[in-house]
C-alpha cells in the first residue's frame, strides 16, 4: 500500500514538469535488411511538436523533443512507404523513445512538379515513358509505361522491380488545371522534346532520390499578330497524304528560345496562336519517335497574320513550312498538281491536259455534299475561286473518261 502511495506521489510531482528526451530509430529495408537513407520520419505530440527528420546514410535518425513535452503526453512517429502510412504510438514517460520502421523496399520513383523552385499544384500527371528502337522499321517507338496523377504537386510510385527498357519522365498539367496554359509540358531534365530528355537510371528509383521536374513558364506579351495553320499526313506515312492529324502539340518560342505558348491540333488538324506581339518566333512539335525541327517565322505590322503554316508528319520528321504545298492524288506519278494547299482564295490546277477528256471538276465537303461544279474549257491549267467557302477541308474531284481522281484541299 505504501508503494502505491509513493508511486502516485511521484507521478503527481513529475507529471506537471516538462522533460527533454529524444526520439530515435532506424529505417530498415525489408528486402536487403540494410538501413535506408533519405527517408522522412514525422514526430508529433498532437500539440506543440509537429516536425520531421530525415534518416542519415546508415538509415538512422534522431529527433530531440523540446522542453514543452510532459510526462503522459502522447507521441506519434510515422513515415509513408509503398503508399501506406506506417506509425508507432507511445505514451511519454520521460525516457528516450526508440521507434524503428521496416519499409517494403527500395524501388520507388518520386518527386515534385516545380517552377522556379515553387511547387505547382492542381491536376497534373507525370508520365513514365519507355523508349525502344524498332529495328524492323528502323524507327524509335515511345510508349507510356505508367502515369502518376497528382493534385498537390508531389508524385510517387512503388514497384516490385524497376520497369524494363530505356525510360523517360515527363510532367504535364491537365486541362482542368487553372495554370494549364501557363507552363509547357517538360521532360526530365528541362527538355521540351523527347529526344533531348534525360534517360533515367536505377538511382532514380531509390527512396532517397527525388526526381523533380521543373516546368517552363510561358511569357507572351499581348499583341495583334497571329499564327495559324494545319497538321496533316506527309509522304511515306502509310496513310492518305493530306489527312488531318489531331492531338499534335505545337510549341511556340521566341527566336531566343523563350517559351511563349503551346497548343494542340484539333480534330481538323488546325491550330492557332492568337494575340502575339510582332517579332520572330520558332514553332516545333514533340511528336514521339520523329525529328522535330523548328520553323522560324516573323510577323510584322505589314504582315501581322500568317495562316498558311503547314506541319507534315511522315515516317521520320514532323516539320513545318510556310510554302503552299502542291498535292498530287496518287503520289509523284500523278500528272495533276494542286497548289497552293492550304489555299487562301484561288486554287491552281496544273496538268489537266494529261487527262483524257471529257473532264469534270467538282468540289465537295467532307460529308460528300456537292458544293460547286467548275466548267472546264480546255487547257493545261485552271484557277478555281474558293473565297466564297469558309476555312476547312474539302474534296476536289476530277472526273475523266477513264476514272475519277479525288484530292484533299485545305482552306
User: Any idea what DSSP says for residue 396?
Assistant: E
Q: How many helices (H) and strands (E) does the chain have?
A: 1, 35
**Residue 309: which of 322, 298, 328 has the closest Cα?**
322
From 321, 353, 381, give the residue that closes a domain: 321
Residue 76 falls inside a structural domain: yes
* Residue-level pLDDT at 11: 44
* Residue-level pLDDT at 238: 55
* Residue-level pLDDT at 176: 92
Do 193 and 240 belong together in one domain?
A: no
Residue 330 falls inside a structural domain: no
Check if the beta carbon of residue 55 is closer than 8 Å to that of residue 37: yes
From 217, 234, 269, give the residue that closes a domain: 217
Strand order in the sheet with 360-365: 370-374, 360-365, 393-399, 404-410
Instruction: Give CA–CA dist 204/199, Å, rounded.
Output: 10
* Residue-level pLDDT at 83: 63
Residue 249 falls inside a structural domain: yes
Do 186 and 274 belong together in one domain?
A: no
Do 211 and 117 belong together in one domain?
A: yes
* CA distance readout (Å), 352 to 17, 334, 381, 383, 385: 102, 11, 6, 12, 17
Instruction: Give CA–CA dist 100/86, Å, rounded.
Output: 10
Residue 24 falls inside a structural domain: yes
Do 96 and 119 belong together in one domain?
A: no
Residue 329 falls inside a structural domain: no
Do 207 and 261 belong together in one domain?
A: no
Instruction: Give CA–CA dist 131/141, Å, rounded.
Output: 6
* CA distance readout (Å), 316 to 198, 270, 363: 21, 21, 32
Do 244 and 297 belong together in one domain?
A: yes
* Residue-level pLDDT at 304: 87
Our count of domains for the chain comes to 4
**Residue 66: which of 123, 22, 117 has the closest Cα?**
22
* Residue-level pLDDT at 314: 85
Question: Residue for cell digits 496544273?
Answer: 350
Strand order in the sheet with 279-285: 259-264, 249-254, 279-285, 295-299
Range of the structural domain that residue 281 is part of: 222-321
- What CATH number has the domain bearing residue 372? 2.60.40
- What CATH number has the domain bearing residue 15? 2.60.40.10
Phi, psi of 352 (to 5 degrees): -65, -25
* Residue-level pLDDT at 332: 42
Do 267 and 283 belong together in one domain?
A: yes
Running along the chain, 411 residues long, what does each successive block of 10 average in pLDDT? 45 53 89 80 84 91 83 90 83 92 81 93 96 82 94 88 92 94 93 93 85 94 92 70 89 95 94 94 94 89 85 88 54 70 83 87 84 88 88 85 81 79
Do 123 and 143 belong together in one domain?
A: yes
Do 126 and 206 belong together in one domain?
A: yes
Residue 326 falls inside a structural domain: no
* Residue-level pLDDT at 67: 65
Q: Which residues of 140-169 are buried (b: 16+ CB within 10 A; e: fewer)?
A: bebeeeeebebeebbbbbbeeeeeeeebbb
DSSP state string for 16-74: TSEE--EEEEEEEETTT-SB-TT-EEEEE-SSS-EEEEE--TTSEEEEE--TTEETT-E
* Residue-level pLDDT at 328: 47
Question: Residue for cell digits 491537365?
Answer: 174
Region label for 44, one of left (φ > 0), alpha (ψ between -120 and 50) or beta (otherwise): beta
Do 14 and 89 belong together in one domain?
A: yes
Do 311 and 346 belong together in one domain?
A: no
Do 13 and 93 belong together in one domain?
A: yes
Residue 327 falls inside a structural domain: no
Residue 149 falls inside a structural domain: yes
Amino acid at each position: 500500500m505504501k508503494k502505491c502511495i509513493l508511486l502516485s506521489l511521484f507521478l503527481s510531482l513529475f507529471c506537471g514538469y516538462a522533460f527533454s528526451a529524444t526520439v530515435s530509430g532506424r529505417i530498415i529495408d525489408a528486402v536487403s535488411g540494410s538501413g535506408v537513407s533519405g527517408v522522412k520520419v514525422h514526430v508529433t505530440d498532437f500539440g506543440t511538436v509537429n516536425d520531421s527528420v530525415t534518416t542519415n546514410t546508415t538509415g538512422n535518425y534522431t529527433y530531440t523533443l523540446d522542453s514543452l513535452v510532459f510526462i503522459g503526453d502522447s507521441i506519434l512517429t510515422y513515415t509513408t512507404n509503398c503508399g501506406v502510412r506506417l506509425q508507432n504510438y507511445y505514451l511519454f514517460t520521460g525516457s528516450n523513445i526508440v521507434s524503428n520502421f521496416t519499409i517494403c523496399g527500395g524501388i520507388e520513383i518520386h518527386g515534385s512538379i516545380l517552377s522556379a523552385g515553387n511547387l505547382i499544384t492542381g491536376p497534373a500527371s507525370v508520365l513514365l515513358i519507355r523508349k525502344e528502337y524498332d529495328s524492323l522499321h528502323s524507327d524509335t517507338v515511345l510508349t507510356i509505361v505508367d502515369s502518376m496523377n497528382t493534385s498537390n504537386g508531389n508524385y510517387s510510385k512503388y514497384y516490385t522491380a524497376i520497369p524494363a527498357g530505356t525510360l523517360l519522365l515527363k510532367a504535364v498539367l491537365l486541362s482542368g488545371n487553372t495554370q494549364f496554359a501557363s507552363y509547357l509540358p517538360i521532360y526530365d531534365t528541362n527538355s521540351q522534346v523527347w529526344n533531348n530528355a534525360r534517360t533515367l537510371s536505377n538511382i532514380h528509383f531509390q527512396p532517397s532520390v527525388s526526381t523533380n521536374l521543373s516546368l517552363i513558364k510561358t511569357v507572351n506579351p499581348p499583341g495583334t499578330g497571329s499564327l495559324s495553320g494545319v497538321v496533316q499526313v506527309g509522304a511515306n506515312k502509310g496513310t492518305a497524304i493530306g489527312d488531318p492529324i489531331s492531338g499534335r502539340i505545337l510549341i511556340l518560342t521566341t527566336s531566343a528560345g523563350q517559351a511563349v505558348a503551346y497548343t494542340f491540333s484539333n480534330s481538323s488538324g488546325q491550330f492557332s496562336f492568337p494575340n502575339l506581339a510582332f517579332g520572330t518566333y520558332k514553332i516545333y512539335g514533340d511528336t514521339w519517335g520523329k525529328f522535330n525541327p523548328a520553323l522560324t517565322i516573323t510577323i510584322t505590322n505589314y504582315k501581322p497574320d500568317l495562316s498558311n503554316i503547314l506541319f507534315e508528319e511522315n515516317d521520320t520528321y514532323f516539320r513545318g513550312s510556310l510554302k503552299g504545298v502542291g498535292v498530287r492524288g496518287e503520289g509523284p506519278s500523278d500528272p495533276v498538281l494542286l497548289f497552293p494547299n492550304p489555299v487562301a482564295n484561288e486554287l491552281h490546277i496544273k496538268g489537266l491536259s494529261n487527262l483524257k477528256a471529257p473532264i469534270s471538276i467538282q468540289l465537295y465537303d467532307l460529308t460528300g455534299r456537292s458544293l460547286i461544279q467548275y466548267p472546264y474549257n480546255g487547257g493545261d491549267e485552271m484557277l478555281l475561286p474558293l473565297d466564297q467557302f469558309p476555312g476547312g477541308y474539302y474534296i476536289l474531284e476530277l472526273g475523266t473518261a477513264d476514272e475519277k481522281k479525288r484530292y484533299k484541299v485545305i482552306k
